[in-house]
């Protein structure tokens, strides 16, 4: 089916049986024969899968949504992933599917495909005579715009040779649900990939208050714990730091998320305060704030806050790459946090840009232009035309700093210096400036009257979701 047909289906998904429960899900890739060309021709497709268990019989089935770069296929099961093909047939299929790739990448991809053969367990074959079986109906009810975008992105990772990105955790909202108030989480990713926005958005959605702390190289213990400030009458009052504030809220019985942005920029000595406070004793985290709350024999007694483990959740973020001033992750910190990778996806960018465009009452086609600009700028980076990376923050600022839609190209031009290199004399490289200025002109002079209907339908779905919140 086409992308448009898929979106129309998930807008009004079929009724499904309650006899099945989902036991597993994930993203992957698999070789498919392309019978439309030749029986010996194959391609590597990306897919999303759900595993279901029949509550009555205990039987296990898989349903998959695959993408071949153009169309989508809904399948009950997968011949390769479930090892329903003989090893000889599977080997021939994988060899045919990687035939068009360069030799070095071909062998890497071949090895990855071999490792996925027989990955999914199953019991028997689906005996449904319907065009769409009960397992596929369940899958259609679970598919979102974000999942479709992840499947597409995974396919293009394969085509562009980015094998290292193919196994990253993709559905972070489900990971949040799994680890919230059970295991602290550290989200890594490049600058501007939407890490902090994702956390804020999740907290807002589940209506859990958050405490925010921005990490930096000059952060001190008082930023975590707190300090005394002088009142107007000369007396002193205690002001909580972010860690003490979160502990105090949790101790009162309120669930709270402590968000620490750029956590690995914090000096190790100060970071140890956080690490040792997250050692659980009798289902409580314990924090000594340094605040004097009494006196015994002339010696001040220090305040200690006991925060129930199930009331406090810490989520940290960190940029990655040689261009960022971050420390290596400490083993003790890594032991207390589950590490999650977060990269920019088109679906997430659309959500963020639609939200800001809606506030300014800008036309929604603006989002399409900005995403096209982002994609082309990333392509320039991959082709070494540019060496610096554009991020979602740049696009958001273009919206925020514009009074009307027509201001955005000018704001982008004013941002060009952030994306270009300098020559040996310190001047911006003219050739790079010209490339970006030409791109801005092309995209904003483009007539979107006949814009891709799939893009517009996708925007309408996301805009409707925001309106209904």
pLDDT in tens, 219-258: 999 999 999 998 888 888 999 999 999 999 999 999 999 9
Same domain, 231 and 316: yes
In Å, the largest CA–CA distance within the chain is 90
The pLDDT of 105-109, averaged and rounded, is 77
Q: Which of 330, 311, 334 is nearest to 186 (CA)?
A: 334
Q: Do 81 and 107 reside in the same domain of the chain? A: yes
Q: What is the pLDDT of residue 324?
A: 44
Single residue among 133, 165, 197 that ends a domain in this structure: 165
With bands split at pLDDT 50, 70 and 90, how would you rate the model's confidence at 397?
A: very high
pLDDT tens by residue, 71-86: 888 888 788 888 888 8
The CATH number of the domain holding residue 316 is 3.40.50.300
Residue that terminates a domain, selected from 317, 340, 363: 340
Residue 250 lies in domain: 172-340
Mean pLDDT of 17-23: 74
Question: What per-residue string of b and e applies to 161-188 under the rule 16 or more CB within 10 Å gives b?
Answer: eeeeebebebbbeebbeebbbeebbbbb
In terms of average pLDDT, the best of 37-41, 171-175, 411-415 is: 411-415
Question: Are 196 and 325 found together in one domain?
Answer: yes
What are 176-190's pLDDT values in tens digits? Answer: 888 899 999 998 876
Which tens digits make up the pLDDT trace of 198-208? 788 788 888 99
pLDDT tens digit sequence for 119-154: 777 776 665 555 677 777 888 887 877 678 778 877
Same domain, 85 and 138: yes
Instruction: Please give the distance of CA 106 from its chain centroid, rounded to a whole number.
Output: 28
Q: Reduce the DSSP state of residue 268 to 3 states and report it.
A: helix
State the pLDDT confidence band at 37, using cuts at 50, 70 and 90: very low
> What pLDDT does residue 325 have?
44
How far are the Cα atoms of 104, 289, 410, 416, 439 from residue 369, in angstroms, in the given order?
A: 36, 50, 14, 17, 11
pLDDT of residue 326: 45
Residue 30: closest CA among 78, 63, 73 = 78
Question: Which of 56-60, 284-288, 450-454 is the least confident region?
Answer: 450-454
Say whether pLDDT at 163 is over 70.
no
| Same domain flag for 392 and 330 | no
| pLDDT the model gives residue 345 | 65
Highest-pLDDT range among 2-16, 402-416, 454-468: 402-416
- Among 81-95, 169-183, 256-270, 374-388, the range scoring the smallest mean pLDDT is 169-183
Tell me the percentage of the chain whose pLDDT exceeds 90: 30
Residue 75 vs residue 263, higher pLDDT: 263
What number of other Cβ atoms are within 10 A of residue 157's Cβ?
18
Place of tokens 């053969």: 117
Q: Tell me, what's the pLDDT at 410?
A: 95
239 shares its domain with 292:
yes
Same domain (yes/no): 161, 199: no
Q: For tokens 């698999």, what's the residue? A: 30
pLDDT above 70: percentage of residues in the chain: 83
- Mean pLDDT, to the nearest integer, of 313-327? 68
For 83-97, how does the pLDDT look when each residue is reduced to its tens digit (9 = 90+)?
888 888 888 888 888
The pLDDT of residue 433 is above 60: yes
Domain finish residue from 340, 358, 374: 340
Same domain, 354 and 336: no
Across the chain, mean pLDDT equals: 81
Domain check: are 80 and 106 in the same one? yes
Name the residue with higher pLDDT: 279 or 119.
279
Same domain, 279 and 424: no
pLDDT at 109 over 90: no
Using CA atoms, how far apart are residues 377 and 395, in angstroms rounded to an integer? 12
Do 213 and 295 fall within a single domain? Answer: yes
Average pLDDT of span 273-296 = 93
Of 347 and 148, which is predicted with more confidence?
148
C-beta separation of 14 from 136 below 8 A: no
Looking at the predicted structure, is the pLDDT value of residue 396 above 50?
yes
Q: Quick one: pLDDT at residue 448?
A: 65
**121: which residues sit within 8 A by CB, 6+ positions away?**
51, 60, 82
pLDDT band at 287 (very low <50, low <70, confident <90, very high): very high
**Same domain for 192 and 152?**
no
Indicate the number of domains in the chain.
3
Contact 393, 344 (CB under 8 A): no
How far the first Cα of the chain sits from its last, in Å, is 30
């Amino acid at each position: 089916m086409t992308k448009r047909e898929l979106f129309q289906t998930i807008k009004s998904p079929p009724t499904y049986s309650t006899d099945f429960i989902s036991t597993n899900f994930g993203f992957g890739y698999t070789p498919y024969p392309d019978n439309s060309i030749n029986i010996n021709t194959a391609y590597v497709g990306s897919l999303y899968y759900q595993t279901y268990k029949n509550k009555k019989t205990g039987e296990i089935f898989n349903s998959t949504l695959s993408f071949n770069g153009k169309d989508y296929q809904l399948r009950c099961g997968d011949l390769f992933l479930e090892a329903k093909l003989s090893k000889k047939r599977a080997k021939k299929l994988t060899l045919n599917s990687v035939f068009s790739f360069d030799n070095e990448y071909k062998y890497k991809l071949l090895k990855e495909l071999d490792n996925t053969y027989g990955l999914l367990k199953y019991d028997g074959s689906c005996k449904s005579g319907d065009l769409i079986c009960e397992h596929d109906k369940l899958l259609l009810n679970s598919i979102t715009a974000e999942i479709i975008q992840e499947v597409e992105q995974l396919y293009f990772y394969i085509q562009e040779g980015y094998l290292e990105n193919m196994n990253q955790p993709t559905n972070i909202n489900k990971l949040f649900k799994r680890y919230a108030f059970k295991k602290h989480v550290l989200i890594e990713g490049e600058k501007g990939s939407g890490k902090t926005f994702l956390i804020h958005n999740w907290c807002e959605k589940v209506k859990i208050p958050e405490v925010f702390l921005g990490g930096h190289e000059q952060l001190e213990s008082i930023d975590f714990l707190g300090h005394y400030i002088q009142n107007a009458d000369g007396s002193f009052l205690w002001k909580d730091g972010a860690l003490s504030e979160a502990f105090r809220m949790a101790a009162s019985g309120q669930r709270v998320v402590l968000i620490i942005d750029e956590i690995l920029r914090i000096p190790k000595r100060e970071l140890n305060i956080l690490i040792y406070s997250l050692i659980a004793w009798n289902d409580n985290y314990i924090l000594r704030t340094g605040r004097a709350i009494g006196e015994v024999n002339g010696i001040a007694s220090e305040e200690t806050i006991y925060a129930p483990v199930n009331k406090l959740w810490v989520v940290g973020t960190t940029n990655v790459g040689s261009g960022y001033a971050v420390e290596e992750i400490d083993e003790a910190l890594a032991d207390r946090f589950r590490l999650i990778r977060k990269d920019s996806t088109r679906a997430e960018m659309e959500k963020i840009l639609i939200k800001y465009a809606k506030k300014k009452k800008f036309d929604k086609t603006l989002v399409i232009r900005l995403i096209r600009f982002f994609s082309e700028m990333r392509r320039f980076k991959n082709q070494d035309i540019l060496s610096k990376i554009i991020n979602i923050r740049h696009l958001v600022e273009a919206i925020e700093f514009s009074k009307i839609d027509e201001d955005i190209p000018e704001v982008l031009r004013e941002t060009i210096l952030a994306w270009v290199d300098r020559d040996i004399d310190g001047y911006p490289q003219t050739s790079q400036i010209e490339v970006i200025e030409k791109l801005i002109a092309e995209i904003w002079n483009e007539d979107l009257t006949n814009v891709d209907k799939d893009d517009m339908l996708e925007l309408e779905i996301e805009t409707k979701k925001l309106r209904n919140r």
